[in-house]
Amino acid sequence: MKLPRVGQRVRHKGSGAVWKVIEEMEIWVQNHAGSASGPAGFMPSSPPIYRFSLYNRRMESDSYYLGLALAQAREGATAGEVPVGAVLVDEAGEVMARAFNRPIGLNDPTAHAEILILREGARLRGNYRLPGVSLYVTMEPCIMCLGAMLHARVRRLVFGAPDPKGGACVSLYRLPEDTRLNHCLEVTGGVREAECRELVRQFFQARR
């Protein structure tokens, strides 16, 4: 039997859940055979037992894709746009599209990063519906972008920092929770929040 090492991930055969070995612990068992090598009457268990933590692969990948969105946001800042970046990821984890906010450069009030990648994703698929895709964006989306995601049937939204001035997920409105809408969008917020927020703060500070 191959024993896992600390830091290694193991898949639980029954549930499919991935666990990470965080500690290898030696425990002492009572030694009835009488060949005590540890404290009197006890010996180390063989194999040692392990302490596991549920290894959340989703958390790791969310952070990775948000990092790609952050890179876009930084490009946006360089281009003089409000630094918001987004990436669209398909079911297999492949990045389909990436963009930064460009309403100023494109003279287009709808050219938010999310809209740009939804357009690109739909073009690639030849379909205006994008079921199964996930959208990663550095800031909580606005009403327009959230509306577009619902129209596109995006499966999952992951955002970085909430936007108290225009956010439609948790801040001004809570559209994903509105059961009157016929599409349910899974939302995760607060991923790499500090970095996303800091980028926007620095941008506005520099402009003042």
Point out which residues bind Zn ion (CB under 5 A). Answer: 112, 142, 145
Residue of 114, 140, 186, 198 marked catalytic:
114
Indicate the residue among 21 and 196 with the shorter CB distance to Zn ion.
Answer: 196
Closest separation in Å from C-beta 146 to Zn ion = 8
| Rounded distance between C-alpha atoms, residue 92 and residue 173, angstroms | 31
**Active site includes 140?**
no
| Rounded distance between C-alpha atoms, residue 208 and residue 187, angstroms | 33
| Rounded distance between C-alpha atoms, residue 1 and residue 47, angstroms | 9
Indicate the residue among 99 and 191 with the shorter CB distance to Zn ion.
Answer: 99
Closest separation in Å from C-beta 145 to Zn ion = 3
Closest separation in Å from C-beta 205 to Zn ion = 22
Indicate the residue among 111 and 191 with the shorter CB distance to Zn ion.
Answer: 111
Answer whether 124's CB lies under 8 Å from 97's CB.
yes
Answer whether 176's CB lies under 8 Å from 205's CB.
no
Indicate the residue among 98 and 112 with the shorter CB distance to Zn ion.
Answer: 112
Answer whether 110's CB lies under 8 Å from 76's CB.
no
Closest separation in Å from C-beta 110 to Zn ion = 8
| Rounded distance between C-alpha atoms, residue 208 and residue 200, angstroms | 13
| Rounded distance between C-alpha atoms, residue 146 and residue 112, angstroms | 11
Which sequence positions are flagged as catalytic? 114
